Amino acid sequence: MTLAASSSSAAVGTSITLTATVGTSGFGNPPAGEVEFTVNGMHLGRAHLIGGTDPTTGVSLATATLITSKLPVGADTVMASYKGDRNYVGSSSSVAVTVTPTHPELFSNKLQSPVSFLGTGLCFVCAAFGGRPLIPVSVRKRYLPTTM
């Protein structure tokens, strides 16, 4: 099995196409069933295998495609797993995808001037480890602190 991503890096919210290919060594029926996709060990989605043949060798194969824009910010490991069917054993493959934030300064532990972002009406509660946003919270300007 192989897994390919349409891009190895993307901005948060950008759609990425994940294509899992289950290959065979024969000319019989292609693999059947579903492929499960996970990101960093968390369920991302499932896709049905669509059978076909390799255009150069004529060997049976099947592909499953998942389009997602739900990858988290950071260095992600996307995995595709095929459980197998009555003719083929299961297999898995992974690919690395790096998702960058739209506003990288909000994901840093080294904010130089957080006050400059307060006028946007959004305040991000960030984790003390890694600076990833935990919860976007809508805040009214009059409640924002004047000093930090």
Asked if 17 and 45 touch (Cβ cutoff 8 Å), the reply is no
Q: When comparing pLDDT for 146 and 127, which is higher?
A: 146
Q: What is the pLDDT of residue 13?
A: 92
Instruction: For residue range 91-138, list pLDDT tens digits in order.
Output: 999 999 999 988 665 555 554 444 444 444 444 444 433 444 444 444
CA distance 17 to 67: 4
Decide: pTM greater than 0.95.
no
Asked if 25 and 59 touch (Cβ cutoff 8 Å), the reply is yes
Structure tokens belonging to residue 6: 């349409």
Task: Please determine, for residue 147, whether its predicted confidence score (pLDDT) is greater than 90.
Answer: no
Q: What is the pLDDT of residue 26?
A: 87
Instruction: For residue range 12-54, list pLDDT tens digits in order.
Output: 999 999 999 999 988 889 999 999 999 999 999 999 999 999 9
Q: What is the pLDDT of residue 131?
A: 47
Domains of the chain, each with CATH number or no CATH: 2-100 (2.60.40.10), 104-143 (no CATH)
Q: What is the mean pLDDT of residues 73-83?
A: 97
CA distance 125 to 136: 7
Q: What is the mean pLDDT of residues 44-70?
A: 95
